[in-house]
């Protein structure tokens, strides 16, 4: 049972309620922002909660056990709320969100109702809807190693050992044109098709410098090289913006051996039998399932 401060208990006991909701958002880079659904700005615990954000929350659900629960908030994209460029750059990924109940007649009286993280954010024109995930969501994340046929290391990390600074594994180029969705037409890199698929794209100059995401596909077409990104770049991307690329890996043993000459550091189990083998039954006339030794 939650214990409320005496001041909040008194506010709830009054005949007319003077309560509103506030959201305190802490990005992973340390930036803290406050929003409220009240009609004027409030200062709570030294943080300004902005009323002009236009943010509103959905119904908040709770469940017994370890089921993941949450809610949603929606509002307008603006520099005062969730800036579109910062959102596209991933600065709000995994941000911590505190849901507060505030007495707007005395903003010093507030209580923390829930805490969670910012999940999926959907953009619809100039508006956004952000998913708030409960703390139980962390229990759905993979911890430790998983035995699988594919490698579970990240290309270039300490477990992988590939030096991505080598010339064949990285390239620089400039944007020629921005096309629909996450597609960019660029000058260079000239390696074979697919070399940078699953690699990392990072803008190093221009208005959107700092934006980075994974490459969905890399191919050469008439008029230049085309990069399809998993995430649409910010609106500020323009022709002439410089970028850097690192090679990608599909986590297969053959790729590790043939493309990167790194078979000794492969972090998967390429010879692990698949589900078909594990679930197979003995069939007359077919060897390998009769209890005898394999030749």
Same domain, 49 and 12: yes
Same-domain status, 103 and 223: no
User: Which residues, including other chains, have CB under 8 Å from residue 100's CB and lie 6 or more apart?
Assistant: 21, 22, 23, 24, 44, 110, 111, 112, 113
CATH assignment of the domain containing 217 = 2.40.10
Measure the CA–CA gap between 253 and 250, rounded to whole angstroms.
9
- Rounded Cα–Cα distance for residues 110 and 56 (Å): 18
CATH number at residue 111: 2.30.110
Provide the token pair at 201. 């794209």
Final residue of a domain: which of 246, 261, 280?
Answer: 246
pLDDT digits (tens, 9 = 90+) for 146-156: 788 899 998 98
Average pLDDT of the residues of the chain: 80
Is 136 part of a structural domain of the chain?
yes
Which is more confidently placed, 121 or 97?
97
More confident residue, 219 or 284: 219
Domain span at residue 198 reads: 167-246
CB neighbour list of residue 182: distance below 8 Å, 6 or more residues apart: 213, 216, 228, 229, 230, 231, 232, 233
> Do 128 and 15 belong together in one domain?
yes
Report yes or no on 148 lying in a domain. no
67 token code pair? 């089921």
213 and 132 assigned to the same domain: no
Which pLDDT score is estimated for 35?
Answer: 85
Report yes or no on whether pTM surpasses 0.85.
no
Span 172-190, pLDDT tens digits: 889 988 888 788 888 876 6
Name the more confident of 237 and 56. Answer: 237
Quote the number of domains for the chain.
Answer: 2
CA 261/CA 141 separation, integer angstroms: 31
Q: What is the mean pLDDT of residues 26-30?
A: 85
Q: Is 288 a domain residue?
A: no
Residue 201 shares a structural domain with residue 238? yes
Q: What pLDDT sits at residue 257?
A: 93
Strands 242-246 and 70-76: unpaired
Q: Is the pLDDT of residue 47 over 60?
A: yes
């Amino acid at each position: 049972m939650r214990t409320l401060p005496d001041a909040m208990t008194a506010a709830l006991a009054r005949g007319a309620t003077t309560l509103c909701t506030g959201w305190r958002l802490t990005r992973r880079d340390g930036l803290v922002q406050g929003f409220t659904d009240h009609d004027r700005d409030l200062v709570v615990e030294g943080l300004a909660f902005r009323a002009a954000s236009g943010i509103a929350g959905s119904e908040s659900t709770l469940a017994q056990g370890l089921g993941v629960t949450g809610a949603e908030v929606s509002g307008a994209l603006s520099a005062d709320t969730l800036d579109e460029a910062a959102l596209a750059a991933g600065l709000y990924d995994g941000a911590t969100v505190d849901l507060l109940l505030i007495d707007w007649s005395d903003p010093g009286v507030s209580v923390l109702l829930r805490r969670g993280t910012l999940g999926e954010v959907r953009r619809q024109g100039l508006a956004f809807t952000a998913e708030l995930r409960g703390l139980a969501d962390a229990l759905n994340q993979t911890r430790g190693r998983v035995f699988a046929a594919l490698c579970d290391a990240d290309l270039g990390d300490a477990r992988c050992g590939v030096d991505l600074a080598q010339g064949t594994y990285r390239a620089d180029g400039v944007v020629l044109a921005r096309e629909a969705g996450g597609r960019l037409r660029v000058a260079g890199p000239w390696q074979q098709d697919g070399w940078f698929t699953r690699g990392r794209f990072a803008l190093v100059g221009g208005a959107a410098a700092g934006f980075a995401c994974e490459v969905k596909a890399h191919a050469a077409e008439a008029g230049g090289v085309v990069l399809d990104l998993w995430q649409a770049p910010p609106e500020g991307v323009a022709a002439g913006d410089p970028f850097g690329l690192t090679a990608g890996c599909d986590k297969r043993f053959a790729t590790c051996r043939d493309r990167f000459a790194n078979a000794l550091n492969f972090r998967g189990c390429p010879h692990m039998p698949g589900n078909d083998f594990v679930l197979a039954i003995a069939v007359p006339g077919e060897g390998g399932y009769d209890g005898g030794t394999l030749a």
